[in-house]
Amino acid sequence: MSTPDNSILGLKMPTDPRWVDIASVSLEEILTDHAFCEQKAATQSISLIQRYPDKIELVNALSPLVTEEWGHFRMVWAEMKKRGYTLGKQRKDDYVNLLLKYEPKNISANDKLLHKLMICALIEARSCERFKLLSENLKEEGLRKFYYKFMISEAGHYRLFIDLANSYYSVDHVREAWMQWLQIESKILDELSPRGDRMH
């Protein structure tokens, strides 16, 4: 699998280049934040299954994803222990909370699902971009390889959410929603100053 780049994932706004410099000197915080990003991804997929148990393709696609995301939490935790780091407290995730504010409210559960899937795809795409930066810029070779693997996974998860959306809605409808969400995300990223002690 080749290295995904921003244009493939469609993100409008590249990450501020200062981010990776700060991240590389805040490894314990970055790894803690990364571990909790994986936890939130697992929790988010569990919550989609709880909300849409009647959607068989969704339950089929997200059940193994939960196992994988939680496996990633454990991989990050194992890496932290190897380094003598401790798992810190989970921080408020401004990036995700801002995205959720744009979720349309007064629509049916069925229409809401499209937006929920777009938000999941977006978070995976942005994580993929950040992991790419870490995989290219961290000093330690071991960590660069570690983040290369995560980057590939996130690209796959982004695809999974887009494919799932395409299985429930028309391709045009999904493309239109995706374009809107890309705009929203780039606006949000522009408002947030880059903080190197967390993933987003």
Name the residues that contact a copy of itself, by CB under 8 A: 32, 36, 39, 42-43, 46, 49-50, 53-54, 56, 59, 63-64, 66-67, 70-71, 73-74, 77, 81, 86-90
Residues 65, 66, 67, 68: is their CA dihedral positive or negative?
A: positive
Q: What minimum distance in Å lies between the beta carbon of 198 and a copy of itself?
A: 15
User: Residue 93 or 185: which CB sits closer to a copy of itself?
Assistant: 93
* Side chain identity, residue 94: D
Helix H segments across the chain?
A: 6-9, 18-24, 27-51, 56-82, 94-101, 109-137, 141-168, 171-191
Q: What minimum distance in Å lies between the beta carbon of 100 and a copy of itself?
A: 18
Q: What minimum distance in Å lies between the beta carbon of 123 and a copy of itself?
A: 18
User: Residue 89 or 101: which CB sits closer to a copy of itself?
Assistant: 89
User: Residue 61 or 125: which CB sits closer to a copy of itself?
Assistant: 61
Q: What minimum distance in Å lies between the beta carbon of 25 and a copy of itself?
A: 22
Nearest to 36 by CA among 87, 94, 84: 87
User: Residue 14 or 71: which CB sits closer to a copy of itself?
Assistant: 71
User: Residue 132 or 200: which CB sits closer to a copy of itself?
Assistant: 200
User: Do 134 and 147 touch, CB atoms closer than 8 A?
Assistant: yes
User: Do 58 and 48 touch, CB atoms closer than 8 A?
Assistant: yes
The CA angle 27-85-18, to the nearest 5 degrees, is 10
User: Do 62 and 42 touch, CB atoms closer than 8 A?
Assistant: no
Q: What minimum distance in Å lies between the beta carbon of 63 and a copy of itself?
A: 5
